[in-house]
């Protein structure tokens, strides 16, 4: 029997129909595909079908594929992504063969909003910036500054805000609150000024919105062929139009605070050991506005997003695990604290250092909900990873911290459970987990310099909130990760606040 011939027009119509048929089968009979790659169009149909749950989808595929898989772009796009959640591969990429896996020029293009800051550069420029940042953050006066300003912010802004929320019986978005709090605290550490964005009228914060728009666009760029997003950028259309606007807002904001900070330095009216002040006093650091802008925006974005994400997910998991909250309260009641004039407790960072279960609960939150759910690496030279996977120049390698927190081969069969006890050793101390298994703070030479600072702030804020207030999550809301390079909640976290009456 001869097969019927098809005209060119019929063929053009037939191929989309065939793809739609496979799409129907995929959605009807499969939870996720054995392979996310389709003929001709590569990953796009699978990506579009799972666009609302992309982080979990990637984790599910990595589980099926023993921690590694390739994602292909459309035909002729020359786009290949290699995803991995294999600790041996992560150790190789981040530490053992670090020089072969830079951020790369394409990464710098995608993350252009960060300029030539420490998160966006390689080689000598990255080393120089990292060394300067490390020196500043390790200074005793800066560490003291972190604890003092965080404590003041909790006492003068956070606790009054929550009290007013209770008095007015408001339903608030906890994620938005944390974003504003983290923004204010990071501004203090960056250039010594509190912008006061945390108040019950939730004032508009153009810079914060610009950061959100930029991170959403960066995620869009990573998951699309470069020719696609570059065309949209050229046309100033869609997501790229939002990016252009966010850059204008962000650069204007940073330029204004730098000029104000310089003037304060000249007048001698500001002597706090903030990051920008430290840089301006260092004769070995370029005094150009561009260098200072890039340094400030990298520090601001990292501090705001990491802290707000970590705190939001922490209070979400507490709402789902009452026993964990009770154990944390029991620990907090055993340590000394100061009391505000209104009778509310505030904890010193040194006291919180001894609370093993409390700190374990935070680490467990970051295991399941890492603020940066994935990394992006380039390849300089062809290499064979410990898994046997081949990588070549032109590929993007994407180690997934989100998927790693959900891998049985790393955490056991109970990997999907929230279980702080897994971080506590038999002797009652915190258990050490190597960074190539727990990637929440990066690994190797690029390990996060702000880990200690972030955990100090997270612990102080959470301790004051848990001890003084109860948070009831509004029923019916869907809590899920947003499509972003930062693990925010898609719909926020709506809660009602009550004063805690007994411990």
284-321 per-position pLDDT tens digit: 877 778 888 888 888 888 888 889 999 999 999 999 99
What are the binding residues? 448
| Binding-site annotation: residue ranges for heme | 448
CA–CA separation, 2 vs 113, rounded Å?
A: 58
Q: Which residue's entry shows tokens 């459970």?
A: 417
Residue 3 has a pLDDT of: 42
Angle between helices 289-320 and 174-191 (to 10 degrees): 150
Query: What are the residues whose beta carbons fall under 8 Å from the beta carbon of 9, sequence distance 6 or more?
Result: none
User: Whole-number mean pLDDT of the chain?
Assistant: 86
pLDDT, greater one: 126 or 270:
126
Please choose, from the candidates 458, 463, 162, the residue with its C-alpha nearest in 3D space to the C-alpha of residue 311: 458
Say how many Å lie between the first and final Cα of the chain, rounded: 82
The per-residue pLDDT for 79 is: 74
Q: DSSP characters for 145-206?
A: HHHHHHHHHIIIIIHHHHHHHHHTT-EEEHHHHHHHHHHHHHHHHHHS------STT----H
Specify the length of the chain in residues.
503
Q: Which domains does the chain have, with CATH numbers?
A: 78-499 (1.10.630.10)
Spatial CA neighbour of 223 closest among 9, 435, 50, 13: 50
Q: How far apart are CA 466 and CA 214, in angstroms?
A: 32
For 181-205, write each residue's pLDDT tens digit: 999 999 889 888 888 888 877 888 8
């Amino acid at each position: 029997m001869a097969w019927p011939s098809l005209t060119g027009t019929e063929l053009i119509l037939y191929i989309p129909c065939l793809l739609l048929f496979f799409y129907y089968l995929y959605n009807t009979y499969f939870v996720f595909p054995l392979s996310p790659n389709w003929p001709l169009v590569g990953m796009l149909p699978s990506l579009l079908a799972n666009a609302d749950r992309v982080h979990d989808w990637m984790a599910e595929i990595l589980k099926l594929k023993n921690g590694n898989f390739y994602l292909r772009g459309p035909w002729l796009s020359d786009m290949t992504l290699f995803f991995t959640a294999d600790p041996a591969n992560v150790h190789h990429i981040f530490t053992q063969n670090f020089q072969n896996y830079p951020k790369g020029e394409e990464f710098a293009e995608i993350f252009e909003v960060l300029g030539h800051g420490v998160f966006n550069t390689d080689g000598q420029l990255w080393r120089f910036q990292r060394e300067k940042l490390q020196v500043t953050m390790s200074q005793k006066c800066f560490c003291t500054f972190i604890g003092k300003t965080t404590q003041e912010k909790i006492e003068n802004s956070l606790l009054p805000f929550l009290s007013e929320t209770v008095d007015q019986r408001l339903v608030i978005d906890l994620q938005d609150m944390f974003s504003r709090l983290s923004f204010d605290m990071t501004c203090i550490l960056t250039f010594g000024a509190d912008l006061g964005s945390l108040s019950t009228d939730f004032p508009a914060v153009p810079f914060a919105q610009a950061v959100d728009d930029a991170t959403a666009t960066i995620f869009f760029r990573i998951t699309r062929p470069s020719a696609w997003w570059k065309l949209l950028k050229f046309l100033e259309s869609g997501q790229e139009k939002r990016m252009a606007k966010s850059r204008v807002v962000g650069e204007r904001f940073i330029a204004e605070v730098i000029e104000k900070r310089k003037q304060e330095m000249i007048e001698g009216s500001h002597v706090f050991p903030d990051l920008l002040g430290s840089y301006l006093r260092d004769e070995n650091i370029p005094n150009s506005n561009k260098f200072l802008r890039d340094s400030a925006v990298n520090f601001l974005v990292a501090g705001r997003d990491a802290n707000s994400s970590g705190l939001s997910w922490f209070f979400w998991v507490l709402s789902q695990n009452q026993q964990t909250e009770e154990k944390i309260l029991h620990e907090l009641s055993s340590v000394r604290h100061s009391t505000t004039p209104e009778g509310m407790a505030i904890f010193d960072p040194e006291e919180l250092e001894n609370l093993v279960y409390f700190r374990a609960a935070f680490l467990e939150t970051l295991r399941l909900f890492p603020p940066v759910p994935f990394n992006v690496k380039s390849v300089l030279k062809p290499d064979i990873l410990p898994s046997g996977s081949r990588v070549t120049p032109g590929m993007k390698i994407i180690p997934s911290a989100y998927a790693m927190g959900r891998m049985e081969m790393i955490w056991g069969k109970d990997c999907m459970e929230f279980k702080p006890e897994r971080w506590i050793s038999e002797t009652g101390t915190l258990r050490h987990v190597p960074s190539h298994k727990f990637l929440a703070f990066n690994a190797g030479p690029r390990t996060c310099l702000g880990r200690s600072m972030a955990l100090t702030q997270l612990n102080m804020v959470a301790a004051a909130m848990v001890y003084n207030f109860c948070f009831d999550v509004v029923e019916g809301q869907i809590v899920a990760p947003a499509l972003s390079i930062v693990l925010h909640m898609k719909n926020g976290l709506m809660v009602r606040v009550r004063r805690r009456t007994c411990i």
